[in-house]
Chain A
Amino acid sequence: MIQLKNIARYYKRGLQKSWVLRDISIHIQPGEFVTIMGPSGAGKTTLLNIIGMLDQPNAGEYMFMDEPVHRFNERRRNELHKHHIGFVFQAYHLIDDLTVYENIETPLLYRGIKGKERKSMVADVLDRFNIVAKKDLFPDQLSGGQQQLVGIARAIVGKPQLLLADEPTGNLHSKQGKEIMDLFKELNDDGITIIQVTHSEENAHYGKRKIELLDGFVRKNELIKKEVG
C-alpha cells in the first residue's frame, strides 16, 4: 500500500540545512498496524505528515496504492488524501464551533456525499462508538477521552483505507488510552491499515510491527512478538 524510497526532509536554518529525515525506506502492506517510535525530535510527526500528504519530502519517492504521490500537484494529493486517509491527533483538533454530529459529518461534506447517505454513515459511527447521546454537544462539553473518540469517529466515518494517528493517547489517562487502543485493534481487524506514533511500549504492542526512528534513519524495523497470556 505504501512504499517509501529514500525519503529525506530538512528544514533550512539560515544557510544551514537541518536534517529531520535523512534516508527513510519503508514498505507497508494493506491491513498492517504499524507503530512508529523514537525519541522526541526524531522526526516521527514529520514522517507521518509526509505519509498523510500534509507535507512533502525534499527527496525520495512515495508510492501510495501504486500511485507516485511525489509527482502529484496539491490538488491531486488532496483528492487522494481525502478519499483514503483519516487522521487522529494528540490534541484531538475538533472544530470548536461544530457539534459532535457536525464534526463527524464534515469530511463527508468535503467528499460530496449526499444528504441521506451522509446521515446514515454518521449514524453508524455514532452508534458504533456509543456516542449517540452526545451528538448535539460541542467539543468543550466533552471529556478528553470522549473528544478523542469523536476524533477517531471523524477519521474513520468516510471508511478510509489508511488511519494515521499521532500520539492519539498522549493526552489521556491510561484507562481512556486503553479503550482507544482497543478500538484501533478492532478497526484494524476490520481491515483498516493503521500507522500510529506513540511513546508507549504498551501501546506499541497493539500493533503488528514497530519502526524505530533515530536521527533521521530507521534504526529498527521489527515484527512484534505476541507474548502469550
Chain B
Amino acid sequence: MIEHAIKLALRNFMRHKNSFFINLSGLSTGLACTLLIFLWVRDELRVDKIFENDDRLFQVMEHQDYSDGILTTNSTPGPLGMSLEEEIPEIELAATYLYPASYNLQVGEEKLRAVGTYAGKNYFKIFDYPLMTGSAVDILAGANNIAISETLAGSLFGSVEEAMGQSIEYEGSDIYSVSGVFKDLPSNSTQQFDFLLPYEPFYQENIEWMSNWESNFPNTAIRLKKGAQAAVVNGKIKDFIKGKAENSRVSLFLQSYSGRYLYGRYQNGKQVGGRIEYVWLFSLIALFILLIACINFMNLSTARASRRAKEVGVKKTIGAGKKALVIQFLSESIILSFLSLLIAVGLAGLALPQFNLITAKEIELHFDPGMIGVLVAISLITGIIAGSYPAFYLSSFRPISVLKGTLRSSMGELWVRRGLVVFQFALSFILIVAVVIVYKQIQFIQDQGPGYDKEQLVYFNRDGRLEEQSTAFFTKAKTMDGVQNISSIGHNLVGQQNNTRGVEWDGKDPEMTLLFENVRINYDLLETIGVEFKEGRSFSRSFGRDSSAVIFNEKAVEIMGMKDPIGQRVRIHGEEKEIIGVVKDFHFQSFRQEINPLFFQLSPENSWFMMASLEKGKEKKGLENLKSLYEEFNPGFAFDFEFLDEQYARQYAAEQRVASLSRYFAGFAILISCLGLFGLSVFTAERRKKEIGIRKVLGASVTQILSLLTKEFAQIVLWSILIGFPIAYVLSKNWLDRFVYRIDLAIWFFVLTAVLMILIAVVTVSSQAFQAARVDPKKYLRSE
C-alpha cells in the first residue's frame, strides 16, 4: 500500500512538474530557513551551559535602590565573594573576577597584547574550563601565577609544554610565571580571555578602595553545595551587604549563571526578559515561514483538485476507503517534504558561512542522532500539515457527483483558499513592516549620534611612558598631520562605567538618592570630543582653581532643580566644587535608556584613555602618525586603538544582528508567498483560458482581460494588508517602546509596505495573466 502510494506520488510529481517545482522550492527554502533558525536557537540555548555543575552555578547580582528606580547590576563589592564563602554555609565556592581588558605582555623580546583579567583562586574550580597543564586547585593560588590559553602559550613559547613555569612581564612591570594552560575558551562561553591573574593579591594591593562595601566593581560567581536551595540562599544573602555597610541600598540575589545570558534584562528590579525574546521571535518566524510554505502546498493541491477529483471518484467506486485515500495524499506531501529536506540541508550548508558572519556564531552542521531526529520530525510535521487539508478535502469527494461531473468548487472551498493566501500575505506584510521599522530605528540611533562628534574619535590606553610624559605626547600629537585634537579621559563614553551617589547640593531632599555618572577628564577633552555647551565654560588652564570645578549635563541640573547653576556650589564626596559649565545632554548609554545625570571633573591622573579626534578625510594619516608617536614613547608596545563609533555601535550589536537576520528571513517569507501566488495564478490562468477565449470573441481587449485576472489577486493582497496592519502596528509599537529615544511610528511605513506588497503581487501574477490574455481564442474554444 505505502509502496504503491510512493510510486503514485512520484508519478504525480513528474506529471505535474509546475506545481511540483513550486512546492519543492517553496518547501525547501522554508525548511532551510527553519533549519538555520533551529541551529541558531539551539546555539543560543546552549550558551554558557558548558560546566559540569551548571545547575549549581550562580551569578551574585545586585538590586541598587535609588529614588528614580532600581538599578540591577552584576558589579559587586570586592570582598563579597570571600565573605559569602565564609559566612553562608550553603555556598561551597565563590570566585571574584574583573572585566577582561587588553594588556601588554612581554616574554624576552616577544611583545603582544592579550585580553585578560584578575580572577579568584576558585575560578577554575567553579568554571571547569579544561586545563591542558596545571590543576584547577592551585593554578591561581600563587601571587605570581598566570594562567594562559593554549593559543597564547603557542604565540609566546611555541608550545603548551614549553610554557609551564616560564616568566611573563605584564604591562612592563610585574613578572608572572605560567602556572597552567587552559584550552581556548569555546565560542559559546560568554567569558572570553587569553590569560588570568590571581585576584586575591590584586585585592590586597588595592585594599583601600577594593575593600569598600559600598563600591561595586568586580563580578562574583558562586557554586552552591549539592542539594542547597537557591531560594533559601537568596533569603540569606538579600541583606548581606546592608549587614556590612549600614547605609547600603543594595540587596543581593542569585541568578543562574547560564541563565543570565538569555534572561539578562532587568527593569526596576524585575526580570523582563533579554535575549530569550529573540529566541522566541525567531522561533516564531521559523514557524511562520514553514506555515507559508505549507499553505502553498495546500493551495496548489486543492486548486488542482478538480483534476484529481476524477481519480478520487474512480478509486472510491473500485473500493478505496477514505483512509486509503488520505494515506495516499498524505504520503504525497510527506515525500515532498522529505525531498525538500534534502535540498534544504544542502541550502543551509551553503548559507551557513554567511549566516555565521551575520550572527557572529560558529555554528556547524553536525548530523548527530538528536539532530537527525529533529530534522525528521520537522519534515514529518511539515508534510502532515501541508498534506492534511488537501488529503481530507479530496478524499471526502462523493464519487457519484464526481463521475457525473457535477462537482463544482464550492464557495466554502474558494474562501478557504483565499483565506489561506490572505493569511500568508498578512504574515508577509507584518514581516516587511517589522523589518522596515527595525531598520529605521537602528539607522536613527546611528544617524542621530550621541550628541558629540563620535565619527572621528579614537581612543587608546595611556600605557607605559605615556602617563608620565603625557604633556609632551599631547604637544607633539597636536602638531601632527591628520590629528585635530587630543586629550585624555577616564571613561570611554559608552555605557555606565563609574557612577556615584555622593553628590550633595543645597536644598537636596535628604531621602533622595541619585546616581551620577562620574567622568574624569583632562584639559581639552570636551573640545576634543566636541560636546556642546549650554552655558558656562570648559576647564581651562588659564583658571588656576579648575581642579575644584565641575561641569554637569543638562539632565543633572534639571534633577537638582537649579535655576542658575553657574557659580553655584555642590559637594562631591564631601569636597566642595563650583559649577563652571553645563553641557547639552548627550548619550553615553544605549538609546534604550534615558540620559542619566552626569558630571565632568578635572582629574588628569585618572584619565587613563587617550582620546584623539582625527581630521575628516585624513583619518588614516592621523592614525599612522599617532601610531609612530606612540611607538616612539613606548618602543615595542603594540598600538591598540579603538574607534569610538565602533564601540558605540557595539551596544546595538544584538539589534543589528536581529535586524539583518530578520531582513533575510522576511525576504524569504515573501519569496515563498510569491511562489504560491505564482502557482495559483498559473492555475487560474489555465482554468480560465476557455472563459478568456469566449470573452475575446465577444470583443474584450487584452487590458480588460489583464485587469480581470489581476483584480482577484489584488483584492486578496488588500485584505491581507487590512488584517496585517493592526497586528504589525501593535508589534512594532511594542518593540519601539523599549527605546526611550525612538522614531515615530509614521503611517508612511505602512503605506510604503502596502504599496510594495501590491507591486510584488501584481508583478508575480501579471506574467501569467498576460500570457492568458493573449491566447488565441480559436484554439481554446475548439479543444473542448
Binding site for B on A (CB under 8 A): 49, 52, 54-55, 75, 78, 81-83, 86-87, 89, 91, 93-98, 106-107, 109-112, 154-155, 158
Q: A55-B400, A89-B403, A109-B4 are in contact. Are A97 and B319 (CB under 8 A)?
A: no
Binding site for A on B (CB under 8 A): 1, 4, 8, 11-12, 15, 310-311, 313-321, 324, 399-400, 403
State the CA gap A78–B321 with chains docked (Å).
7
Chain A residues within an 8 Å CB radius of B15:
97
Chosen A-B contacts, 19 in total, with CB atoms closer than 8 Å, are A52-B317, A54-B317, A54-B400, A55-B400, A75-B321, A82-B320, A87-B317, A91-B403, A93-B310, A95-B314, A97-B8, A97-B12, A106-B318, A107-B318, A110-B319, A110-B320, A110-B324, A111-B319, A155-B318
Partner of A97 from B1, B311, B317, B403 at Cβ < 8 Å: B311
State the CA gap A96–B4 with chains docked (Å).
16
Judge whether B318 and A154 touch: CB under 8 Å: yes
Q: A54-B400, A55-B400 are in contact. Are A78 and B319 (CB under 8 A)?
A: yes
Judge whether A82 and B319 touch: CB under 8 Å: yes
The distance from the CB of A88 to the nearest CB of chain B, in whole angstroms, is 10
Judge whether B318 and A110 touch: CB under 8 Å: yes
State the CA gap A109–B328 with chains docked (Å).
12
Closest residue on chain B to residue A110 by CB atoms: B319
Judge whether B320 and A49 touch: CB under 8 Å: no
Count of inter-chain pairs, beta carbons less than 8 A: 60
State the CA gap A87–B403 with chains docked (Å).
12
Chain A residues within an 8 Å CB radius of B316:
54
Closest residue on chain A to residue B323 by CB atoms: A75
State the CA gap A91–B313 with chains docked (Å).
13
The distance from the CB of A211 to the nearest CB of chain B, in whole angstroms, is 21
Interface centre among A78, A154, A158 (most CB of B within 10 A): A78
State the CA gap A59–B77 with chains docked (Å).
91
Closest 10 interchain pairs by CB?
Answer: A82-B319, A110-B319, A107-B318, A93-B314, A87-B317, A110-B320, A107-B319, A78-B321, A54-B400, A95-B311
Partner of A49 from B8, B324, B400 at Cβ < 8 Å: B400
The distance from the CB of B315 to the nearest CB of chain A, in whole angstroms, is 7
Q: A54-B399, A54-B400 are in contact. Are A93 and B321 (CB under 8 A)?
A: no
Closest residue on chain A to residue B5 by CB atoms: A109
The distance from the CB of A118 to the nearest CB of chain B, in whole angstroms, is 10
Chain B residues within an 8 Å CB radius of A111:
319
Chain B residues within an 8 Å CB radius of A83:
319
Q: A82-B319, A87-B317, A97-B11 are in contact. Are A109 and B1 (CB under 8 A)?
A: yes
Closest residue on chain B to residue A111 by CB atoms: B319
Chain B residues within an 8 Å CB radius of A95:
310-311, 314-315
Closest residue on chain A to residue B404 by CB atoms: A45
State the CA gap A158–B11 with chains docked (Å).
25
State the CA gap A158–B318 with chains docked (Å).
10
Q: A91-B403, A109-B4 are in contact. List 13 more A-B contacts (CB 8 A).
A: A54-B316, A54-B317, A75-B321, A81-B319, A82-B319, A87-B318, A93-B313, A95-B315, A97-B11, A97-B12, A98-B11, A106-B315, A112-B1
Closest residue on chain A to residue B314 by CB atoms: A93
Interface centre among B12, B314, B320, B403 (most CB of A within 10 A): B314
Chain A residues within an 8 Å CB radius of B313:
93
Chain A residues within an 8 Å CB radius of B315:
95, 106, 110
State the CA gap A182–B8 with chains docked (Å).
34
State the CA gap A117–B765 with chains docked (Å).
51
The distance from the CB of A202 to the nearest CB of chain B, in whole angstroms, is 26
Chain B residues within an 8 Å CB radius of A107:
318-319
Chain B residues within an 8 Å CB radius of A106:
315, 318, 320
Chain B residues within an 8 Å CB radius of A109:
1, 4, 324
The distance from the CB of B14 to the nearest CB of chain A, in whole angstroms, is 9
Chain B residues within an 8 Å CB radius of A98:
8, 11
State the CA gap A91–B8 with chains docked (Å).
23
Closest residue on chain A to residue B399 by CB atoms: A54
Chain B residues within an 8 Å CB radius of A82:
318-321
Closest residue on chain B to residue A107 by CB atoms: B318
State the CA gap A155–B317 with chains docked (Å).
10
Chain A residues within an 8 Å CB radius of B400:
49, 54-55
Chain A residues within an 8 Å CB radius of B1:
109, 112
State the CA gap A94–B8 with chains docked (Å).
15
The distance from the CB of A194 to the nearest CB of chain B, in whole angstroms, is 16
Q: A89-B403, A97-B11 are in contact. Are A110 and B314 (CB under 8 A)?
A: no
Closest residue on chain A to residue B12 by CB atoms: A97
Closest residue on chain B to residue A109 by CB atoms: B4
Closest residue on chain B to residue A94 by CB atoms: B314
Chain B residues within an 8 Å CB radius of A93:
310, 313-314, 317, 403
Chain A residues within an 8 Å CB radius of B319:
78, 81-83, 107, 110-111, 158
State the CA gap A112–B4 with chains docked (Å).
12
Chain B residues within an 8 Å CB radius of A52:
317
Chain A residues within an 8 Å CB radius of B317:
52, 54, 87, 89, 93
Closest residue on chain B to residue A104 by CB atoms: B318
Chain A residues within an 8 Å CB radius of B320:
82, 106, 110
Closest residue on chain B to residue A83 by CB atoms: B319
State the CA gap A112–B313 with chains docked (Å).
19
The distance from the CB of A150 to the nearest CB of chain B, in whole angstroms, is 12
State the CA gap A89–B310 with chains docked (Å).
13
Chain B residues within an 8 Å CB radius of A110:
315, 318-321, 324
Chain B residues within an 8 Å CB radius of A49:
400
Closest residue on chain A to residue B398 by CB atoms: A54
State the CA gap A110–B324 with chains docked (Å).
7
Judge whether B311 and A96 touch: CB under 8 Å: yes
State the CA gap A1–B417 with chains docked (Å).
46
Chain B residues within an 8 Å CB radius of A89:
317, 403
State the CA gap A54–B165 with chains docked (Å).
92
Closest residue on chain B to residue A49 by CB atoms: B400
The distance from the CB of B403 to the nearest CB of chain A, in whole angstroms, is 6
Chain B residues within an 8 Å CB radius of A158:
319
Chain A residues within an 8 Å CB radius of B318:
82, 86-87, 106-107, 110, 154-155
The distance from the CB of A155 to the nearest CB of chain B, in whole angstroms, is 8
Closest residue on chain B to residue A79 by CB atoms: B321
The distance from the CB of B425 to the nearest CB of chain A, in whole angstroms, is 32
Chain B residues within an 8 Å CB radius of A86:
318
Chain A residues within an 8 Å CB radius of B310:
93, 95-96
Chain A residues within an 8 Å CB radius of B4:
109
Closest residue on chain A to residue B14 by CB atoms: A97
Closest residue on chain A to residue B308 by CB atoms: A97
State the CA gap A61–B721 with chains docked (Å).
56
Chain A residues within an 8 Å CB radius of B321:
75, 78, 82, 110
Chain A residues within an 8 Å CB radius of B11:
97-98
Closest residue on chain B to residue A99 by CB atoms: B11
State the CA gap A95–B224 with chains docked (Å).
71
The distance from the CB of A15 to the nearest CB of chain B, in whole angstroms, is 21
The distance from the CB of A110 to the nearest CB of chain B, in whole angstroms, is 4
